[in-house]
Structure 1
Amino acid sequence: MTNETIPSRRIRLKQIIQVFMKYKVLQNISKQQHPEMVRQAFEELGPTFIKIGQMLSVRTDLLAPDFAAAFKQLQDNVKSDPFDAVKELVEAELQQPLTAVFASFDQLPVASASIGQAHHAVLLSGKEVIVKVQHPGIIAAIEVDLNLFEKAIPLIRSVPEANVVDLKSVLAEVRRSLANETNFLQEMTNAQEFYRDNQQDPQLSIPKVYPQWCTQKVLVMDYMSGESLNCLLTKDDQAFVYDNQRVKDVKKEIGTLLVKNFMKQVFEDGYFHADPHPGNIFLHVFADQAHRPHPFHLKQRVGVLGGVDYALKWQDETVLPPYQVIFLDFGMMGHLDQSLRSRLADALIALYTQDTQEVGKAVLRLCGNQGSAFDEVVFYQDLQRFVENYYNMPLKEIDLQKVMGQVIKICYDNHLQMNRDITLLIKAFGTLEGVIKALDPDLSMMEVTQPFAQKYFLAQFDIAEELKKSTLATAKSIRALSRIPDRAMAVLDTFATGKHRLNVEIREQKQLLDRLDKMVNRIVIGVILAAVILSSSLLVVASPENGSFVHRMGIFGFCLAFIACLLLAGKYFYDHFRTHE
């Protein structure tokens, strides 16, 4: 550790302590009160704590709904860097002057977030682009925060208010997430994959990246003209926009488009945008009809007419609305392999059919290894109570985010660790749900999700393979029928000859043994007291005179036994009244 880093760490530690005390962070989290104060504290402390808040926003097993909602609204509040520092970093990364790559480069950024800031520029080819530049020194600053946080964990654990959160797991998740978000080459790869998956949809516009100008700290992509989705959310529902449509109708269209596209990302692509908040979703409105995309759908009809085969082909033009939805910021993306998608579809279909056993099996498949503390009976009991809440409830009335939050809580209560990709998906669901509620409160995400889950399930369902498995299972069962009488006789012979052993698993074994131990102790004490009373009686009767040593020993034994009986009686009544308070 150099002398230069020691003061910066000390100053940062002092700042963290001051902010925590100013907003009473630990007290508010433990008492689940004043979530806005905690959110302000995290925003003031910068990117590391913003990321921690985002991670905690899906921990509905630990945080009240108000806290989770407040953490979902965490916004970056970072001042932009001076242009000289930006220019120096870009030229060092590209290893050439700005003028060798860009015809123009705006000195003032169009946006500044926790990790970097974005500048509008024009390539020498004339193409307008956005250059995302990492804040100089941001990685070192984040590393200071994480190291301080890691060293403080043993101290924080001694504070009762901090025990509500598993700090080690949060720190590990924050490290993984920030490692990806501070590597712009990873974001470049994310953007390329998202572009490949979604660029064919004419209602979406996805920026292309330029790999030849991208480095770990610089990202160059298409400039997308448009406004944040917030511009629509602030308009009056009855106002007219875009081809004289009411704002309310446009919101409904965009809400449906976003949900359907997100379900397509999850179940078809297995690659989804994990941070779909309004700041990352823009609207591009076409100036006139001529600039709108005009997609055509090829149709074909084949048949026989008058004994002659014929084939007809034609194109139908699709009329699109006068706007496109733009996705931005690909630093936080989620990936679901085919196995995870299949498990997720199984869970949603099982919930739809209200089959507790199948819901349980699907949830267990979405979780990691089951620890020794896992109790399957208790797990299914909790799940049964959860599923019963949705009996006979219309699909559109089911709150998908609430359902997922309850499932996570059941898993954590039963010592099950949810797959981290599924946890990221739930975070994305929660963020998108907030956007959808603002656009169209009547739109049910569960109602839109279910057809995609069913479609994916049926697409993976191979009738021939299932018939083959069923045939083999039936054949094995028939073959086993002939061996059942022999095996039954063998079991009876084993019991008849006494060569059997029965293993019994007793639930709550520790509590039962503790009670048995107390019972045995009481019996032993009773026997000892009876022996003391009996021996004292013999001493008193056998003593030659009242004042002799033997007589006094007998009286002492009586007194000792009497006092012990009083103490036992007092303890019995004390325990009795305490347990019935």
Structure 2
Amino acid sequence: MMTEQTKTARLRQIIKILNHYSVVKNITLQQNPIEVRQAFEELGPTFIKVGQMMSVRTDLFTVDFTRELRKLQDQVKTDDFTAVKKAVEQELDVPLTDIFTQFDENPFASASIAQVHHAQLKNDKKVVVKVQHPGIDSEIELDLALFEKALPLVNWVPQSSVIDLKSLVREIRNSLQNELDFQKEIVFAEEFYRLNNGWKEIRVPKMEPAYSTKKIIVMEWMPGNSLETLIQAPEEPILQAGLTNSELKKTISELLVEHFMKEVFEDGFFHADPHPGNILFQLLDEAENQADQPLKSKKLVRKLGKQTYHLSYSYHQKLQPFRLNFIDFGMMGTISPEMQTKMGNTIIALYSKDNQRITNAVRSICKTKGSFDEEKFTSELDEFLNRYLNLPIKEIDLQKLFSQVVTICHDNNLQIDDSVTMLIKAFGTLEGVIEDLNPDLSLFEVVAPFAQKFFIKQLHLKDELQEMGLDYLSSLKALPKLPSHTLTVLDTFSKGKGKLNLEVKNQKALLERAEAMVNRLVIGLILSALVIGSSLLVQTSPSGHTLISNLGIFGYSIAALSILFLISESFYRRYRKWKDR
């Protein structure tokens, strides 16, 4: 249970660090991203998670800002082995030595939620043990409670309205609660294993659910080093397993994109955080590569007259001399068949460069939140697309394209579906990896064929023909009635019974503008009457009768001041319009 003293101490720490690094100012002005990253690292897991979520919001933050925040995935402080041992034994309710014959005291990796140790089970199987940082759940809950209490106080921050803070905190809470429950990660990992292990050069570790709990995961040990080691490798032609570094990077970048498209358009279940720390790169020699190539089987059924023949054959799938081993499954995304179709249509529409088709596709993946002006949305999207899609296909940056479309939707009260938001986040992370591996690769050119393949796969020609035939027959059936319906319509109009309904767009704005014009006209008439009345009082006042004369002069003064005010207001409005352009 959190005490008020603990809350106060944590709040003071947060305020002190935020002020020291000028975090609010730097985020608002999008400057000094290194200072923001350092502040989040000092503040711990909750803020690291916030930074990671910010790192993919390229629609809100600059490229320099998002790239710097991606570094939050590394260099997290580790826990002492005594605390780790105690946590494992409490969770498993047995001494460490009853399960493991060997357990490395020093972790080989540490993230915001947990750290990872090498170990060996009693059956001599090499495993990896992911242990949640002791007390991390209480720390995160405290930070989230402070976030929620502080929400009403941030309205004074410039540009705070750009981000829906309530929605952001809710998203952070849901994401962190899912990551804190390792049982959910076990379910995700086993599903990812079923769908992806053995697919080309992709490998996934097998879980050990019998030794896993809500705070501990035990999984199969996977060989290799972080993909970052290959990214940082020199470009000169150093041969590795028959390939140069450049060739390896190019091949792996294409494999990662192809695999991600398979996850999205075939599985509907994708890794939402495919950064280099979550992927191990393993080089194999010729013998290891041959031994690891899976045996594939195919069956053929053929008829010869009335006799049916069954043929089957097996072959080894030819693989490149490396493996990509996925090792973390805390953040996964799902996409429904319906949304798969909509996303496929969106990508195909972008590839076709058809503005109307793109607009319809984007609208289909959004929900309306508030007032929506379709003409304004279409106009803004058309203006952006006409400027951006004139580029050659190879030069189109798919991530920037998606980010700008998201921004236009947000500005027009359209909310992208949550599954698509997670998909864009994952694609943004992957895009950064691909850019580091192979800057010349055009993601747009690689992604479009997968969307087209999915579209064709979903197209059931027989059903489509049946539906077209039914529509055609319905039209033929209604055709003889067309002349009588036409005569009925003409007869209605000839008798004066016809009605024409017109809808005026932006009716409220037009009425407000008309009202303002009428008000100014009335004020002008009043001022004219005031000037004429004052003139009559001054001219007709008896000689020496100062009261009537003063009333006339007073009227002149009021009229003059009013006219000066109206002129000043007019100039100010013109200045504001000029400045806002």
What is the alpha-carbon distance in structure 1 between the residues aligned to residue 388 and residue 538 of structure 2? Answer: 76
Matching residue of 1:351: 350
Confirm or deny: 8 A CA contact 2:260 2:270 kept in the other structure.
Answer: yes
1:570 corresponding residue in structure 2: 564
Choose which of 231, 234, 246 in structure 2 pairs with 1:233: 231
Deviation at 1:506, TM superposition (A): 3.0
Deviations 1:101-146 (CA, angstroms, capped at 9, x unpaired): 2222222222221111111111111111111111111000000000
Structure-1 residue corresponding to 2:340: 341
Map 1:227-306 to 2 at 5 A: 227-287=225-285, 289-290=287-288, 292-298=291-297
Residue in 1 aligned with 2:117? 119
Q: Is the 8 A contact 1:76 1:113 kept in 2?
A: yes
Q: 1:500 to 1:36 in 2, by over 3 A?
A: farther
Aligned counterparts of 2:282 and 2:462: Cα–Cα separation in 1? 47
Pairwise CA RMSD: 3.0
1:477 CA drift (Å)? 3.2
Q: Is the 8 A contact 1:529 1:561 kept in 2?
A: no
Kept after mapping to 2: 8 A contact 1:103/1:123: yes
The one-letter code sitting in structure 2 at the alignment partner of 1:341 is Q
For residues 301 and 510 of structure 1, the distance between their equivalents in structure 2, rounded to whole angstroms, comes to 68
Q: Structure 1 residue 531: deviation in Å?
A: 5.3
Q: Within 2, Cα distance between the matches of 1:577 and 1:559?
A: 27
Question: Match of 1:322?
Answer: 321
Q: Give me the whole-angstrom Cα distance separating, in 1, the residues matched to 2:536 and 2:489.
A: 59
| Structure 1 residue 510, shift from structure 2 partner | 3.7
Which deviates more, 215-224 or 379-388?
379-388
| Distance verdict in 2 for CA 1:440–1:272, change over 3 Å | same
Q: Taking structure 1 as the reference length, what is the TM-score of the superposition?
A: 0.90
Alpha-carbon separation, structure 1, partners of 2:426 and 2:527: 69
Local SS of the residue matching 2:107: coil
| Mapped partners of 2:324, 2:256: distance in 1 | 9
Moved more, 290-299 or 183-192: 290-299
State which of 66, 69, 72 in structure 1 corresponds to 2:67. Answer: 69
Give distance in 2, aligned partners of 1:162 and 1:336. Answer: 31
Query: What is the CA-CA distance between 1:482 and the residue it aligns to?
Result: 4.2
Instruction: Using the TM superposition, name which of 353-362 and 237-246 deviates more.
Output: 237-246
Query: Per-residue deviation at 1:486?
Result: 4.5
Q: 1:372 to 1:25 in 2, by over 3 A?
A: same
Partner Cα separation in structure 2 for residue 493 and residue 66 of structure 1: 69
Q: Residues 290, 577 of structure 1: CA spacing in aligned structure 2 closer, same or farther, 3 A cutoff? A: closer
**CA distance, structure 2, for counterparts of residue 457 and residue 228 of structure 1:** 35
* C-alpha distance in structure 1 between counterparts of 2:536 and 2:402, whole Å: 74
CA contact (8 A) 2:280 2:324 kept: yes
| Runs of at least 5 residues in structure 2 that lack an aligned partner in the other structure | 576-581
Query: Which residue does 1:507 correspond to in 2?
Result: 505
- Hey, what's the Cα distance between the residues in 2 that align with 1:177 and 1:540? 78
Give the superposition deviation at 1:501. Answer: 5.1
Structure 1 equivalent of residue 364 of structure 2? 365
Q: What does residue 374 of structure 1 align with? A: 372
Which residue number in structure 2 is paired with residue 87 of structure 1? 85
Q: Structure 2: how far apart are the matches of 1:96 and 1:540? A: 106
Corresponding residue number in structure 1 for 2:210:
212
Q: Is the 8 A contact 1:532 1:558 kept in 2?
A: no
Distance 1:519 1:399, change over 3 A: closer
> For 2:293, what is the secondary structure of its paired residue?
coil
CA distance in 2, matches of 1:329, 1:160: 37
Native 8 Å contact 2:261 2:450 kept in 1: yes
Aligned-partner Cα distance in 2 for 1:501–1:293: 76
Alignment match of 1:424 (pick from 422, 436, 447) = 422
Q: 2:369 touches 2:415 (CA, 8 Å); kept in 1?
A: no
Q: Contact 2:121–2:127 at 8 Å: present in 1 too?
A: yes
Query: How many correspondences in the alignment?
Result: 574
| Bigger mean CA offset, 532-541 vs 210-219 | 532-541
Deviation, 1:242, is: 2.5
Worse-matched range after superposition: 356-365 or 429-438? 356-365
Alpha carbons of 1:302 and 1:99: their partners in 2 closer, same or farther (altered >3 Å)?
closer
> How far apart are residue 58 of structure 1 and its match?
3.0
Say which SS state the counterpart of residue 159 (structure 1) adopts: coil
Distance of aligned partners of 1:372 and 1:225 in 2 relative to their CA distance in 1, 3 Å threshold = closer
SS at match of 1:74: helix
Q: Secondary structure at the match of 2:281?
A: strand
1:536–1:263 distance in 2 versus 1, CA, 3 Å? closer
3-state DSSP of counterpart to 2:325: strand
CA distance in 2: counterparts of 1:145 and 1:231, whole angstroms: 34
Q: CA deviation at 1:535?
A: 6.8
Name the structure 2 match of 1:454.
Answer: 452
SS at match of 1:209: coil
Residues 380, 408 of structure 2: 8 Å contact kept: yes
2:283 maps to amino acid: V
Compared CA separation, residues 552 and 495, structure 1 to 2 (3 A) = farther
| Counterparts in 2 of 1:88 and 1:299: CA distance versus 1, 3 Å | closer
Alpha carbons 1:32, 1:64 under 8 Å: kept: yes
2-side partners of 1:561 and 1:419: how far apart? 63
Matches of 1:484 and 1:444, distance apart in 2 = 53
| Residues 6-28 of structure 1: per-residue CA shift (max 9 Å, x gap) | 23222211111111111111111
* C-alpha spacing 1:313/1:472, structure 2 compared with 1 (3 Å): closer
The match for 2:470 is 472
Q: 1:488-503 alignment to 2 at 5 Å? A: 488-492=486-490, 494-495=492-493, 499=497, 502-503=500-501
Asked whether the 8 Å contact 2:85–2:96 carries over to 1, the reply is: yes
Change (3 A) 1:236 1:523: closer
Counterpart contact for 1:29–1:161, Cα < 8 Å = no
Q: After superposition, what is the alpha-carbon deviation per residue over 1:50-104, rounded to whole angstroms, capped at 9, x for unaligned?
A: 1112222233332222222222332244322222222222122112222222222
Instruction: Give the SS at the match of 1:221.
Output: strand
Q: Aligned equivalents of 1:243 and 1:536: distance in 2?
A: 100
TM-score, reference length from structure 2: 0.90
Q: Is the 8 A contact 1:118 1:132 kept in 2?
A: yes
The 1:194/1:16 distance shift into structure 2, 3 A limit, reads same
Written as runs of structure 1 = structure 2, the 5 A alignment for 1:48-67 is 48-67=46-65
Contact 1:371 1:415 in 2 (8 A): yes
Q: Distance in 1 between matches of 2:233 and 2:531?
A: 91
- The CA deviation at 1:569 is 3.8
Structure 1 unmatched runs, 5+: none
Q: Does 1:224 align with 2:218?
A: no
CA gap of 1:263–1:50, structure 2 versus 1, over 3 A, is: same
Alpha carbons 1:205, 1:327 under 8 Å: kept: yes
The answer to whether the 8 A contact 2:204-2:327 is kept is: yes
Partner AA of 1:139 in structure 2: D
Measured in 2, the distance between the counterparts of 1:174 and 1:266 equals 23
Q: Percent identity?
A: 46
